[in-house]
Amino acid sequence: MTDTNSGVMKYVPGFIFCIILGWLALQWDQSIHKWQKDYQESEKILKPYLNEGKPLLPFDEYVAKSEGKYKEKLSAFEHGDIKEKPKKPHLLQKIDYEIIAATKEIPFKFRFGERMIQFQLTYVAVLLLGGMLLRNTIGLPKFILPGTVIARPVIKPGIVLLGGYYLWSNLLKVGIFALLLVLIFIVGTTVLVSIIGRRMKQDDGLMGVMAAGTGICGVSAAVAVAPVVNAKPRDFFYAVGTILLFGTVALFTFPYIGKALGMSEPVFGAWVGTAILNTAQLVAAATWYGHDSLLTANIINIVRVGFIPLVVIYCIWFYVIRQAKTEGRHEKINTWKVVKEKFPLFILGFFAMVTLNEFGVFTEDHRTIFGKQFLQIFFAVGFAGVGLNIAFEDLKKAGGKAFVIGFLAATLKAVLAAIVVILIGTEAFKVK
Amino acid sequence: MAEIREFEDKAKKVFSAERKEDIWVLILAAITVILGLTGVITPKTFPSLFF
């Protein structure tokens, strides 16, 4: 009999479960987007009837008229009369058109699709909310759990593929602002948390992981810093609990706050890229808001995770070298060793994709395949993993004064970052 | 003390797992790019996965 508790086999059931959930959510997403387009088309069809009482055209004439208009626009584009290439018209299916013609009403499923998109209940929300509910109500069988954990990093190939969407000029344009935001907010939060922690006489190990986690890149940074600041297991879980709790709250509230504040997609991307602490949660929130938001958030995230080695070096200096000096000992940092060990390799894949795109290797079709379609597949599996791993019992591990410091620092960073990105404005963060 | 050392080892192991994870990420992305560039995956592949 195969032992499902050991080796690779223990990951298989959970991973397959995430693939199935991802597929179901994407199927949902495809359906509501189609219905939303059908809704908009139905409105256009019914407008002359409702406003002027004109009768609806027979289906064949409706198709011919729409295609004729498209050809006219295409020819104007080819002659240079209009700048933007027209999109192929979205036509209703014959059966739906005939229902509208008979009832003069928009069918329920189209209205439902429109409403779901209005509430932003896309595959991202379904996977995150659904996964979280499933985990915390019915619960997951033990044999599913390991596979759901390894599904989370499946988001990363999506981030790499998204590189095919950028040119170096796009990257540099937004990158300059990304660098500024990272330097001011992320490094600023790391320094602030470590200094406040010292002033409030909190444990160095705990505040080290908390500073790195709230400042730069959530759990990855906390993991990278934990050994160098001699964090105890309890400290580590406190810090990770705080990071996850803040990230979870941010993930579910920021898209709605962004809408309420009227943030454009690039501005929202810049905001979540700066304010949300964990890569998976940041990517989820940005995707939830829109593709342009993801394009901006991704650049800021790449710059940010590139800073992990520097944050580790800072933590070694703050918690180890300074401490040693005050005790009369002399400690040195092997900077190159730290950078080599802590540098997140997947960023190189992202830059390789940008370079290939710069050299014209990718066509528009390739960009669609990599940066929209397969990106969604990888993200869907990853988001299923993220949703299923939001366990309230883990979030409860956040505690004590350190939690208050970490949570307040992260909240302050989010508020200030929102003000700054709104003031800087859409143009600066617009990738294309 | 032993508890701390055990935890340090665990944290280091987690980080080396992240490094391995990054290599898998790069392999997976590279396979997708190769399949896309060679035309095995086309823009019609994705819609064909759904009803």
Task: Compare all CA atoms of chain A with the CA of B36 and give the residue at the minimum distance.
Answer: A366
Mutate which of A160, A204, A305 to disrupt the B interface (most B C-beta within 10 Å)?
Answer: A160
C-beta atoms of A345 and B28 within 8 A: no
Contact check, Cβ <8 Å, A346/B14: no
Å between A317 CA and nearest CA of chain B = 19
Distance from CA of A279 to the nearest CA of B (A): 13
Chain B residues within 8 A of A157 when measuring between CB atoms: 25, 28-29, 32
Mean pLDDT of B10-28: 74
Which residue matches tokens 């883990």? A394
Distance of alpha carbon B43 from alpha carbon A367, whole angstroms: 9
Residue A429: phi and psi, rounded to 5, are: -100, 0
pLDDT top residue among A213 and A49: A49
**Choosing among B13, B18, B44, which should be mutated to test the A contact, i.e. which has the most A CBs within 10 A?**
B18
- Distance separating alpha carbons of residues A150 and A154, to the nearest angstrom: 8
pLDDT (0 to 100) of residue A380: 94
Q: What is the pTM of this model?
A: 0.80
Position A221 scores a pLDDT of 66
For residues A387 and A123, give the distance between their C-alpha atoms in angstroms, rounded to a whole number.
12
Q: Kindly determine whether residue A369 and residue B43, on different chains, have CB atoms separated by under 8 Å.
A: yes
Tell me which residue of A69, A207, A140 sits closest to A391, measured CA to CA: A140
Query: Residue A316's pLDDT band (boundaries 50, 70, 90)?
Result: confident
pLDDT at A2: 45
B46 vs A374: CB contact, 8 Å cut-off? yes
In the DSSP assignment, the letter for residue A218 is H
Asked if residues A249 and A410 have their Cβ atoms less than 8 Å apart, the reply is no
CA A45 to chain centre: 36
Q: Which residue of B has its CA nearest to A371?
A: B33
The C-alpha atoms of residue A53 and residue A67 are separated, in whole angstroms, by 24
Q: Are A349 and A163 in contact (CB under 8 A)?
A: yes
**Count of alpha carbons within 13 angstroms of residue A222, beta-carbon side:** 27
More confident: A154 or A3 = A154
Is A328 in CB contact (< 8 Å) with chain B?
Answer: no
Q: What percent of chain A has pLDDT over 70?
A: 89
